[in-house]
Amino acid sequence: MDTISSRETNTNFLPMAGIIVGAVALIISIVALVKLSSVSKEVAECRGLSAQVEGLNSQVAQLGQVAQAANDAKQMAAEASNYGKALNKLTQDALNQVGTEIAGIKTRLDARPAPGPAGGRGPVVAGPGEYVVVAGDSSGTVIAHKNGVSLQALMAVNPGVNWNKLHIGQKLKLPAKAGAQPAAAQQTPPRQ
């Protein structure tokens, strides 16, 4: 009996230690589960932040495109300004040429003889063998007929004349009339 009584008095701590270890494992599991739950909430928040970051990245990319478009517009404005400056210069050069041409025309008009006393220069007088164009002299034919010469002879002694644009006061040379002697031949030699 001794063996039986020793069994009853002999307490084994092993089952007790198993229960304690199990209880501690259960507590650690509960704490881990709570931590896991809070970590999964933080992961979900991080995913939301990740979506926000992607949205911000998209906006930054759009802003980059807007900045590029602004740079392109600035460059186009600079080119347009350059074209405007070139156009202004070309326009000014053209106006300068027109002014020069107008001044030349005015000089030529001022140098042209005036048709009579109204011009302040006095009447244009024809010298020997000359004719001064008057109102009504519309062509070389009229002038040739007035002076009794042929049109061909009149045109031959006035090669630079524009017969379509005769102006009053213009001097023309007259050809010698058929049968007329030159001025030197008309003088009689002195008598001896």
| 105-151 tens-digit pLDDT | 877 776 665 554 445 455 667 778 899 999 888 888 999 999 999 99
Cα 56–Cα 58–Cα 60 angle in degrees, nearest 5:
70
What is the pTM (predicted TM-score) of this model? Answer: 0.32
Name the average pLDDT for the chain.
Answer: 81
Q: What is the pLDDT of residue 17?
A: 87
Mean of pLDDT values over 43-62: 87
pLDDT higher than threshold 60 for residue 161: yes
pLDDT higher than threshold 50 for residue 187: no
Q: How many CB atoms lie within 10 A of CB 143?
A: 21
Mean of pLDDT values over 18-23: 92
Residue 183: pLDDT band by 50, 70, 90 thresholds? Answer: very low
Count CA within 13 A, CB hemisphere, residue 122. 2
The number of residues in the chain equals 192
Residue 182, both tokens? 């030159």
Q: Which fold has domain 122-176?
A: Membrane-bound Lytic Murein Transglycosylase D; Chain A (3.10.350)
Domain boundaries, the chain: 13-90, 122-176
Mean of pLDDT values over 99-109: 82
Of the chain, the percentage scoring pLDDT greater than 90 comes to 17
